[in-house]
C-alpha cells in the first residue's frame, strides 16, 4: 500500500499541500499519480483535508496533530487500518506530485525484494553534480559496496580531500513493512537524527539497514514557493 502523509501546517510554504497542481490540490495530484501504481491511503491531520481526500475518492485517516513526523502519522494510519505486519508500505510525500509512476513501480518492486531479504527499510537516490552537492537543502547519501546507506547528511559527503565528482542526492521516498515501521517509531529520537534533522538516521544509529535504489528522475519536490514556481515553469500546469 502507498500511504501519503498530508500535514496541513508548513513553515516554509503555508498550506502547501493545498496549492493548485493542474486544477487539484497538490496532495490529491500526488495521490492520483500514485494510484496508477497501487492502492493509496492518505494520512491527514485536519478534518478539512480529510474531506477533500474523501471527496476525491481516497480513503483518509485522521491522525494526531502532534506527531513529530510523517512516519509517525503513517504508523498510526497502518494501525487504524489494521494492516498485517508483513504488508509493505510505500511512503510518498504529499509534495511529490511529479514523481514518475514507472520509478514508483520499480521502487515498489525493489523495496519488496530488499525487505524480504532482510533490509529494515528502503529508499532511493540519484546522481547529482558537485555544485548541487554543496546545497545544504539537498540531502546527500553515501553507500556501502552493497548499495546500502552508510550515512545521510545535509553537509557535503564524501568530503573531497581528493577530487570527487560522484555525489548522490537522497530522494525522500521510503518503504518498510508495517512491523518494521512500528519498530522504527518505537525507537527513541537519536543524536544524529536531532543534529541533522533527518529521521532516517534513527534507523542507521540503531544498526538497521536501509537498501538504496538508484533512479533517474526529473521530479521536483515542492518545499517552498520558489520550488512551486520552478515546477510550474518545468511542467506547465
Q: Tell me how far CA of residue 161 lies from CA of 131, 143, 152, 164, in angstroms.
A: 16, 18, 19, 8
The confidence band for 12, taking pLDDT boundaries of 50, 70 and 90, is confident
Distances (CA, A) of 70 to 26, 63, 78, 121, 143: 16, 10, 12, 15, 25
pTM for this model (two decimals): 0.92
Q: Model confidence over 42-72: pLDDT tens digits?
A: 999 999 999 999 999 999 999 999 898 889 9
Peptide bond into 158 cis (omega under 30): yes
Average pLDDT, the chain: 94
CATH, domain range 2-98+114-231: 3.90.550.10
Do 138 and 132 form a contact (C-beta atoms < 8 A)?
yes
Tens of pLDDT, residues 152-200: 999 999 999 999 999 999 998 999 999 999 999 999 989 999 999 999 9
Closest to 81 (Cα-Cα) out of 39, 27, 144, 142 = 39
On the 0-12 / 13-18 / 19+ scale of CB atoms within 10 A, 69 is: middle
Question: Cβ distance 157 to 192 under 8 Å?
Answer: no
Amino acid at each position: 500500500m502507498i500511504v501519503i502523509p498530508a500535514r496541513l501546517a508548513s513553515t516554509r510554504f503555508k498550506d502547501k499541500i493545498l496549492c493548485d497542481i493542474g486544477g487539484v490540490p497538490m496532495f490529491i495530484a500526488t495521490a492520483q499519480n500514485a494510484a496508477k501504481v497501487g492502492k493509496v491511503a492518505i494520512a491527514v491531520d485536519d478534518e478539512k483535508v480529510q474531506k477533500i481526500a474523501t471527496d476525491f475518492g481516497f480513503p483518509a485517516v485522521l491522525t494526531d496533530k502532534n506527531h513529530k513526523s510523517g512516519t509517525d502519522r503513517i504508523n498510526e494510519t497502518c494501525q487504524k487500518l489494521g494492516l498485517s505486519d508483513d504488508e509493505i508500505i510505500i511512503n510518498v510525500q504529499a509534495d511529490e506530485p511529479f514523481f514518475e509512476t514507472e520509478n514508483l513501480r520499480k521502487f515498489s518492486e525493489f523495496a519488496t525484494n530488499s525487505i524480504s531479504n532482510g533490509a529494515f527499510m528502503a529508499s532511493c537516490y540519484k546522481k547529482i553534480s558537485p555544485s548541487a552537492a554543496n546545497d545544504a537543502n539537498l540531502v546527500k547519501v553515501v553507500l556501502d559496496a552493497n548499495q546500502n546507506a552508510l550515512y545521510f547528511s545535509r553537509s557535503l559527503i564524501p568530503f573531497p580531500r581528493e577530487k570527487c565528482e560522484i555525489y548522490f542526492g537522497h530522494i525522500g521516498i521510503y518503504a518498510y513493512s508495517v512491523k518494521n515501521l512500528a519498530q522504527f517509531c518505537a525507537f527513541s529520537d537519536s543524536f544524529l537524527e536531532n543534529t541533522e534533522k533527518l529521521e532516517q538516521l534513527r534507523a542507521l544509529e540503531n544498526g538497521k539497514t536501509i537498501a538504496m535504489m538508484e533512479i533517474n528522475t526529473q521530479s521536483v519536490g515542492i518545499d517552498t514557493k520558489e520550488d512551486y514556481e520552478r515546477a510550474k515553469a518545468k511542467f506547465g500546469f
